[in-house]
């Protein structure tokens, strides 16, 4: 790796570690606050009531319920990742401030000299496994440099795996919106399927039914697209925070801890 690319990587990692305590949680709270304000305005302007009353297929209600569940799941993941991010930040900061720190395992827990036991967290388990991996490689005289990358990939799967259900739900909401579009057009076209005469009264009823079907198509599409984009924004925040944590964990192990383990 060139010195320029290494400098860029170090800068990105340092930015991630200096993001601040509970940066992810605060960002999500700001996002949620703005969304709640927009929903309040929409309710006061009768936009939401018009949405649910016009949608004769009731798909918009299903999309809303899925979005509420997705937001609840996202809130739990935000709290979890915010805690994990703080642990990565604190431990990484300590290691950078103490270049001569030593890492070992005691009582089946990772321990840093001068710091004590690493709290039970993703970072703590990663450091624990890093020491065990180094001890195993040393015992069999194996210097496979890909092993550490395999380890970080395992933790990446653990960290980002629970978010896959969120992306699946995001896709489902989008598909439901498109399904509502089809249902609305079927309702609109079905209103003219069995016309026997074209008097004024009949035409008025047909236009009302067509308008209702078109409203169903448009409102369900709007609900599906809006909910899908809002959910995707939240899970993008989660994935971005996860990537920053993993980059910081890998960087601190490759640059600071593995050389210290090799010298031990």
> What's the DSSP call for residue 116?
E
How far apart are the two ends of the chain, measured CA to CA in Å? Answer: 26
* Rounded CA separation 59/191 (Å): 20
Can you say whether the dihedral through the CA atoms of 233, 238, 239, 244 is positive or negative?
positive
- Judge contact between 40 and 110, C-beta under 8 A: no
Full-prediction pTM beyond 0.75?
yes
* Rounded CA separation 23/43 (Å): 30
Query: Helix, strand, coil: what percent of the chain each, to 5?
Result: 80, 5, 15
- Judge contact between 252 and 10, C-beta under 8 A: no
pLDDT per residue as tens, the chain (264 positions): 445 444 444 454 455 445 556 788 999 999 999 999 999 999 999 888 888 988 888 999 999 999 999 999 999 999 999 999 888 888 888 888 887 888 888 888 888 888 888 888 888 888 888 888 877 776 665 555 555 677 888 888 988 999 999 999 999 999 999 999 999 888 887 766 666 666 667 777 777 777 778 888 899 999 999 999 999 999 999 999 999 999 988 888 887 777 666 555
* Rounded CA separation 210/216 (Å): 10
């Amino acid at each position: 790796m060139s010195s320029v690319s290494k400098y860029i990587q170090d800068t990105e990692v340092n930015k991630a570690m200096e993001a601040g305590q509970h940066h992810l949680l605060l960002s999500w709270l700001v996002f949620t606050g703005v969304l709640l304000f927009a929903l309040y305005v929409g309710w006061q302007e009768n936009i939401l009531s018009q949405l649910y009353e016009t949608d004769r297929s009731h798909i918009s209600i299903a999309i809303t319920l899925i979005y509420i569940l997705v937001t609840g799941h996202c809130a739990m993941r935000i709290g979890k990742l915010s805690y994990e991010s703080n642990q990565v930040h604190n431990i990484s900061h300590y290691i950078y401030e103490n270049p001569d720190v030593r890492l070992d395992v005691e009582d089946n827990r990772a321990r840093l000299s001068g710091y004590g036991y690493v709290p039970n967290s993703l970072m703590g388990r990663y450091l624990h496994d890093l020491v065990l991996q180094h001890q195993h490689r040393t015992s069999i005289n194996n210097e496979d440099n890909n092993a550490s990358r395999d380890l970080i990939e395992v933790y990446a799967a653990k960290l980002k795996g629970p978010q896959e259900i969120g992306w699946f739900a995001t896709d489902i909401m989008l598909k439901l919106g498109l399904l509502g579009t089809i249902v609305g057009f079927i309702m609109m076209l079905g209103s003219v399927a069995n016309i026997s005469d074209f008097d004024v009264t009949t035409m008025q009823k047909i236009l009302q039914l067509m308008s209702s079907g078109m409203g169903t198509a448009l409102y369900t599409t709007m609900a599906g697209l809006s909910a899908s984009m809002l959910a995707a924004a939240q899970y993008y925040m989660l994935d971005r925070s996860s990537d920053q944590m993993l980059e910081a964990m890998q960087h601190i192990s490759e640059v600071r801890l593995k050389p210290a383990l090799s010298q031990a």
